[in-house]
Amino acid sequence: MDFFLDTAEVEVIKDLNETGLIDGITTNPSLVAKSGQNFFTVLENISKIIDGPISAEVTATDTAGMIEEGLKLSKISKNIVVKLPLTIDGLKACVALSKKKVATNVTLCFSASQALIAAKSGATYISPFIGRLDDIGENGLDFIQDIKSIYDNYKSLNTKILVASVRTLEHVAKSAIIGADTITLPPKVFMEMYEHELTKKGLDAFLKDWAETKQSIL
């Protein structure tokens, strides 16, 4: 499973990229707004740090506008993935951009039928939002399983499942068990993957025992 970071904070990306675990980045207009920086400057700076896919979202809502913006975004860097909304205009733009060999990430997916038509429209990635489904009483992880089953049924569908709106470590682990291709993580959730109470207790005990030997490795 590939790990993407869901952030537009360049310094955070630079720091966490040193873990060697970051395969790509997803951004959206809200994340860029929170960063307080120029949209294109943010993407250019991220592309200098990350070699993998970087999702950059269009802001137009009509097909022609999305295509125009998508082509402009794709010129920023070879690893830019144009992020499109799952609307009829968005999927028309997806078809057009896919024909031009521009990578796409269709976002705001909330049903398996939406995921199916996005794949048939040539989406490189589909972004199902599992946390938001959990918020309204549905099971986001069951949703990922449904998409995985559909895509596995039809080998002509090459769209990758990019699990989004991730809130918990269970979301991460269960998505991996299901076999999702990619998951995009807020930095907070990414850091939580390192943590476990028993890991800390075990390390503290080892260090205490070592200190009592009065030895040094160096």
Give the tens place of pLDDT for each residue, 34-64.
Answer: 888 889 999 999 999 999 999 999 999 999 9
Take residue 27 and report the two structure tokens written for it.
């951004």
* pLDDT in the model for residue 76: 95
Mean pLDDT, residues 70-80 = 97
Residue 28: the pLDDT is 85
Tokens 């869901």 -> residue: 6
Percent of the chain scored above 90 by pLDDT?
A: 94
> Is 40 in a helix, a strand, or coil?
helix
Whether residue 29 is predicted with pLDDT greater than 90 in this model: the reply is: no
pLDDT over 90 (residue 136): yes
Is a pLDDT exceeding 90 seen at residue 87? yes
Q: What would the pLDDT profile of 170-202 be if each residue is shown by its tens digit? A: 999 999 999 999 999 999 999 999 999 999 999
Helix H or strand E segment including 128: strand 125-128
Task: List the catalytic residue out of 34, 72, 75, 83.
Answer: 83
| Residue 160, burial from CB neighbour count under 10 angstroms (0-12, 13-18, 19+) | middle
Please state whether beta strands 80-85 and 182-185 pair in parallel, antiparallel, or not at all (unpaired): unpaired
pLDDT for position 34 = 81
Average pLDDT, the chain: 96
Q: How far apart are the first and last CA of the chain?
A: 38
Question: Is 83 a residue of the active site?
Answer: yes
* For the chain, percent of residues with pLDDT exceeding 70: 100
Classify each residue of 102-132 as buried b or exposed e, where b means 16 or more C-beta atoms within 10 Å of its C-beta: bbbbbbbbbebebbbbbbebbbbbbbbbbee
Q: What is the pTM (predicted TM-score) of this model?
A: 0.94
Mean pLDDT value of segment 78-84: 97
